[in-house]
Structure 1
């Protein structure tokens, strides 16, 4: 099963806006994606409530996993999203 391990760049980690943006992007993928930390079991990446239970902070590493025909593309897209500071990138100006 393909996987990507990335550091979360958002200053608030995976909370509030970054969690909402990430879970929405995960739900739009054609394959199911899970996310986990070193100390947690995998949860559905498309569930904002499950994301919040992981308590991921800025700089924490998470591992994404997916299986299926477009798993690599989905993981690339979602990993790139986590590597951006979503707190700043989507701020209203």
Structure 2
């Protein structure tokens, strides 16, 4: 079984993990074969599912644990962390 990697990130964009940001994140996650999950306050969501991400209701300032497991887990974790830390590339 592959090692599970994780990283902690904070939502920095003003609108939080809203529909456009969730879609951008899900599309990014679908490019990897690793299983990627976001956990907020004990609630987990499959990061490749827009609906699951929206159910987290992550607002600005919320802390998330990002986990990735699979052959490209390190690259997936790095990409997801960068996207979130960059505020989903929103101005």
| 2:36 aligned with 1:23 | no
Q: Deviations over 1:31-62 (max 9, x none)?
A: 1101110241x221000000000000012111
CA RMSD of aligned residues (A): 1.4
Normalised by the length of structure 1, the TM-score is 0.86
Deviations 1:67-87 (A, max 9, x none): 122111110110110011236
Going by fraction, where is strand more abundant, 1 or 2? 2
Shift of 1:30: 1.8
Hey, what does 2:80 align to over in structure 1? 78
Runs of 4 or more, structure 1, over 4 Å off, are: none
Structure 1 residues 73 and 10: alpha-carbon distance in aligned structure 2, compared to 1, 3 A threshold = same
Q: 3-state DSSP class of the match of 1:50?
A: helix
Deviations 1:1-47 (CA, angstroms, capped at 9, x unpaired): 2101101122111112111111110111121101110241x221000
Which structure 2 segments of 5+ residues have no match? none
- Pairing 1:1-80 to 2, within 5 Å after superposition: 1-40=4-43, 42-80=44-82
Query: Runs of 5+ in structure 1 lacking a partner?
Result: none
Q: How many residues are aligned here? A: 88
